[in-house]
Amino acid sequence: MRFILCLGVVSLFADMTYEGAHSIIGPYLRDLGATGLQVATIAGVGEMLAASLRFFSGRFADRTRAYWAITFCGYAMNVVAVPALAWASNWRLAAILIVAERTGKALRGPARDVLLSEATQEVGHGWGFGVHSIMDQTGAVIGPLLMVAAVARSHHFGPGFLWLAFPAVGTLIALLGARLLNPDHVKPLETPSDHQVLPKVFWMYVAAAGLLACGMVDYPLLAYHFESANIATPVEIPLLYAGAMGVNGLTALLFGMLFDRLGLNALVFGILISIMALPLGFFGGPAGAIARGA
């Protein structure tokens, strides 16, 4: 359990770093001269890499068994890429750093999950992952709130990225603590057969998730719009994101309970809510922005 808590602290600091940066990237890119199309492209490419590269990094981790080394490398990219955004002289350089941070997330994700899943076998997967998720989401709220304080103090977005150097370094320190607590215990998972056939319902779920993702608007573009249309002040932009992350944590617990009772019907209900909320960020003014986050 101590090992799981250490990995939870790792994710808490990592989410403070990533989500804090994510809450102000849109308007920061605007200040550097990026257009709405460019912000959308940067955010989209970053998220695509964060998701798609996991397939390759996961296979690489299984083949090399270097789970700890890969995890350290992935988190180390945070320490470099996020604070460096404060010194980006143009939106192109900022875009490279954003994509680098997302690549680090893709690199570390599968390897870290192997370490975590092995540990949760002893305390229960539900309990272990639940504890980890709570700490993860706590960091997702604290990070944007940290940006609220940074922007309120400097009246600019750039210096806020320097503040995020502290949780980024804290991530590596906590990861080192987890490594010292568990030097030899974690064993690699068995590599599944390349000929394993996935059920048809899996591909239907993947198709549905992909279509839903195509219709979603990432927060950097929303934040860009909020500042351009004077819907929110620079200080309010990360505050809105912090609120959204808080609601996300609470509703995740609720929908987890509903899923245990209703199965896939609970997912359908959640998707319908997401679809109805999509236009609010662009057409609802300040009230719509708040409702969109909720």
Domain ranges of the chain: 2-183+197-293
CATH 1.20.1250.20 correct for 2-183+197-293: yes
Please name the residues in contact with 59: beta carbons below 8 A apart, sequence gap of 6 or more: none
Distances (CA, A) of 96 to 46, 159, 184, 211, 264: 9, 18, 37, 27, 38
Percent of the chain at pLDDT above 70? 86
What's the pTM value of the predicted model, to 2 decimals?
0.83
Report yes or no: 49 and 96 within 8 Å, Cβ to Cβ: no
Q: Is 124 left (phi over 0), alpha (psi -120 to 50) or beta?
A: left
**HEC secondary structure over 224-240:** HHHHHCCCCCCCHHHHH
State the number of CA atoms in the 13 A half-sphere of 51 facing the CB: 10
The encoded tokens of residue 225 equal: 């719009």
Tell me how far the alpha carbon of residue 163 is from its chain's centroid.
18
- Token pair, residue 278, equals 């999509």
The rounded distance, in Å, linking the Cα atoms of 119 and 29 is 40
For the chain, 294 residues long, give each residue's pLDDT as a single digit of tens. 778 788 888 989 999 999 999 999 999 999 999 999 999 999 998 888 888 888 898 888 888 888 889 999 999 988 899 999 999 999 999 999 999 999 998 898 888 888 877 766 666 656 666 677 788 888 999 999 999 999 999 999 999 999 999 999 999 999 998 888 775 555 544 555 555 677 888 888 888 888 887 878 888 988 998 888 888 899 999 999 998 888 877 776 676 667 667 777 777 777 787 777 777 777 767 776 776 655
Q: What is the pLDDT of residues 102-133, one digit of tens each?
A: 999 889 888 888 887 776 666 665 666 667 77
Q: Are 254 and 157 in contact (CB under 8 A)?
A: no
How far is the C-alpha of 69 from the C-alpha of 108, rounded, in Å?
9
CA distance 154 to 63: 47
Q: Please choose, from the candidates 143, 185, 42, the residue with its C-alpha nearest in 3D space to the C-alpha of residue 101.
A: 42
